[in-house]
């Protein structure tokens, strides 16, 4: 089968950890590689965001990436790409010519617009079936980000239109199906394909990256304020007070290491670390290649899961908005425990509406730290009941249908005196 993937801002070739380079890049790359290995011919279309990028990149025997000229050949924030979707669709249609693919798969709502445009042109003489994966929904983003949502206004009606026009929608969890149904999309054309993990690539067996201290906490992801990296930094003084002073926090993500310190969020985090007296315990590595990640995972004693705000969450993690549970699978496969950093306290001074069940207030197990984004945040106090520190490393299992259980995080103990 000849398959076309359209991913306007998330190139499968991009280094991970940038502002707009994260889970979708991994998803598109892994899905394309898997389909190519099964004998399908896959072409991934993405927007050219640098002048030096070649027009086509052959990744494998049946897989190639095509850079389409759509807008300026430089990085443009994904929420500002809507005006260029027509150019992207034109470039895709030109590349197809009179030999269209058997199916086109749009990733993200703007890619869905380009896919529908290229696949259903009246003068083309063909109609290509369109499959859509949203990866993030505007309704969820608006609900949890509010005024901080930078999506274009047109997303409110264009995104539901993509869902209604696509021939098939692939959702990653049941919560996403409920969100799509609320948007007026027929559930009969929605299929659920949960995210997985490559156990041949991520495993507990293999070399681990070197570390500077006895213990290492790892934080991986894009460096944006809503991810709550500052909350992990605020936990370091409490670890020191509990007797764990030889702890390193390694932050992977952000821009290229050469220009990392020009990022305002990086400067804010480093200033916070200096203010708390833990600057020598915080290391920022910037973007890293996917091949380096298993070794980095194995080197950590624990991984701090930071809640997101734009991706649908599975029912198990529904109480924390957009917690992206699929990110935990590679860590679990590498035998690394993890815990979740709550996005905000749930007392009267908090700003979040959703909260863990039976959330109460107690300063013995939590301490509230001021934060610019929210009036107060709850930080676990290590060494107390419910702190989950030091974490216990779980023995990985070789079964592809079972994964190691994470270190427990007792929500019943979450309380806060504000």
For 275, 322, 363, 365, the CA distances from 343, given in Å and listed in that order, are: 22, 11, 17, 16
Tokens representing residue 365 in the block: 């197990």
Whether the per-residue pLDDT at 338 is higher than 90: the answer is no
For 81, 138, 146, 222, 311, the CA distances from 150, given in Å and listed in that order, are: 12, 10, 9, 16, 15
- Length reported for the chain: 418
- Given this model, what pLDDT does residue 138 score? 92
CA 194 to chain centre: 15
What are the pLDDT digits (tens) for 101-142? 999 999 999 999 999 999 999 998 899 999 999 998 999 989
Which residues share a beta bridge with 219? 251
- Given this model, what pLDDT does residue 289 score? 78
Residue 318 sits at φ, ψ, to 5 deg, of -65, -30
What are the pLDDT digits (tens) for 252-297? 887 666 667 778 888 899 999 999 999 999 988 887 777 888 888 8
Are 246 and 212 in contact by the 8 Å Cβ rule? The answer is no
Are 235 and 244 in contact by the 8 Å Cβ rule? The answer is no
Q: What is the mean pLDDT of the chain?
A: 77
Are 131 and 159 in contact by the 8 Å Cβ rule? The answer is no
CA 102 to chain centre: 29
* 409: Cβ contacts below 8 Å, ≥ 6 apart: 339, 340, 388
Question: What is the rounded average pLDDT of the residues 158-179?
Answer: 94
Are 20 and 255 in contact by the 8 Å Cβ rule? The answer is no
Which residues share a beta bridge with 340? 305
- Given this model, what pLDDT does residue 334 score? 73
Tokens representing residue 128 in the block: 């290509």
What is the distance between the alpha carbons of residues 180 and 187, in angstroms, rounded to a whole number?
8
For 205, 217, 242, 257, 282, the CA distances from 212, given in Å and listed in that order, are: 21, 12, 20, 18, 11
What is the distance between the alpha carbons of residues 57 and 48, in angstroms, rounded to a whole number?
12
Q: Which residues of 306-319 are buried (b: 16+ CB within 10 A; e: fewer)?
A: bbbbbbbbbeebbb
- Given this model, what pLDDT does residue 16 score? 58
pTM greater than 0.85: no
The angle, 0 to 180 degrees and rounded to 10, between the axes of the packed helices 85-96 and 109-119 is 40
- Given this model, what pLDDT does residue 305 score? 64
What are the pLDDT digits (tens) for 233-255? 998 999 889 888 899 999 888 76
- Given this model, what pLDDT does residue 198 score? 81
Whether the per-residue pLDDT at 188 is higher than 60: the answer is yes
Tokens representing residue 62 in the block: 């049946």
Q: Kindly list the structural domains of the chain, giving each domain's residue range(s) and its CATH number in brackets, ordered by start.
A: 2-192 (3.40.50.2000), 215-310+322-339 (3.40.50.2000)
Considering the chain, what percentage of its residues have pLDDT values greater than 90? 41
374 — pLDDT class (breaks 50, 70, 90): very low
- Given this model, what pLDDT does residue 1 score? 94
What is the distance between the alpha carbons of residues 388 and 410, in angstroms, rounded to a whole number?
8
Whether the per-residue pLDDT at 349 is higher than 80: the answer is no
3-state secondary structure the chain: CEEEEECCCCCCCCCECCCCCCHHHHHHHHHHHHHHHCCCEEEEEEECCCCCCCCEEECCCCEEEEEECCCCCCCCCHHHCHHHHHHHHHHHHHHHCCCCCCEEEEECHHHHHHHHHHHCCCCCCCCCCEEEECCCCHHHHHHHHHHHCCCCCCHHHHHHHHHHHCCEEEECCHHHHHHHHHCCCCHHHEEECCCCCCCCCCCCCCCCCCCCCCEEEEEECCCCHHHCHHHHHHHHHHHHHCCCCCEEEEEECCCCHHHHHHCHHHHHHHHHHHHHCCHHHEEEEECECHHHHHHHHHCCCEEEECCCCCCCCCHHHCCCCCCCHHHHHHHHHCCCCEEECCCCCCCCCCCCCCCCCCCCCCCCCEEEECCCCCCCEEEECCCCCCCCCCCCCCCCCCCCCCCCCCCCCCHHHCCCCC
Whether the per-residue pLDDT at 308 is higher than 60: the answer is no
């Amino acid at each position: 089968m000849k398959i076309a993937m359209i991913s306007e801002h998330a190139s499968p070739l991009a280094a991970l950890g940038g502002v707009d380079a994260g889970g979708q890049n991994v998803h598109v790359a892994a899905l394309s590689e898997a389909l190519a290995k099964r004998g399908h011919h896959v072409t991934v279309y993405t927007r050219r965001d640098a002048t030096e990028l070649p027009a086509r990149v052959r990744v494998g025997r049946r897989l190639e990436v095509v850079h389409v000229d759509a807008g300026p050949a430089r990085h443009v924030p994904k929420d500002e790409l809507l005006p260029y979707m027509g150019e992207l669709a034109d470039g895709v249609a030109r590349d197809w010519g009179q030999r269209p693919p058997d199916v086109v798969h749009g990733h993200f709502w703007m890619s869905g617009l380009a896919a529908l445009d290229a696949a259903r042109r009246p003068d083309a003489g063909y109609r290509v079936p369109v499959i859509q994966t949203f990866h993030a929904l505007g309704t969820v983003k608006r609900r949890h980000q509010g005024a901080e949502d930078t999506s274009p206004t047109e997303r409110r009606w264009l995104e539901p239109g993509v869902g209604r026009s696509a021939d098939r929608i692939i959702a990653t969890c049941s919560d996403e199906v409920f969100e799509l149904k609320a948007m007026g999309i027929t559930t009969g054309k929605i299929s659920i394909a949960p995210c997985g993990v490559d156990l041949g690539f991520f495993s507990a067996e293999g070399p681990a990256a070197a570390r500077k201290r006895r213990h290492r906490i790892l934080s991986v992801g894009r460096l944006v304020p809503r991810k709550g990296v500052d909350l992990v930094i605020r936990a370091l003084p409490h670890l020191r007070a509990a007797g764990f002073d030889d702890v390193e926090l390694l932050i992977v993500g952000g821009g290229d290491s050469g220009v990392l310190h020009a990022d305002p969020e990086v400067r804010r985090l480093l200033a916070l670390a200096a203010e708390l007296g833990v600057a020598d315990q915080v290391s920022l590595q910037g973007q890293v290649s996917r091949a380096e990640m298993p070794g980095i995972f194995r080197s950590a004693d624990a991984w701090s899961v930071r809640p997101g705000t734009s991706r649908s969450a599975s029912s198990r993690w529904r109480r924390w908005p957009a917690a992206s549970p699929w990110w935990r699978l590679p860590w679990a496969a590498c035998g690394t425990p993890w815990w979740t950093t709550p996005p905000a306290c749930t007392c009267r001074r908090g700003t979040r509406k959703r909260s863990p069940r039976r959330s109460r207030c107690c300063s013995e197990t939590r301490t509230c730290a001021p934060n610019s984004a929210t009036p107060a945040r709850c930080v676990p106090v290590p060494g107390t009941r419910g702190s989950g520190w030091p974490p216990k490393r779980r023995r990985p299992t070789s079964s592809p249908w079972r994964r190691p259980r994470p270190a427990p995080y007792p929500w019943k103990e979450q309380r806060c005196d504000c």
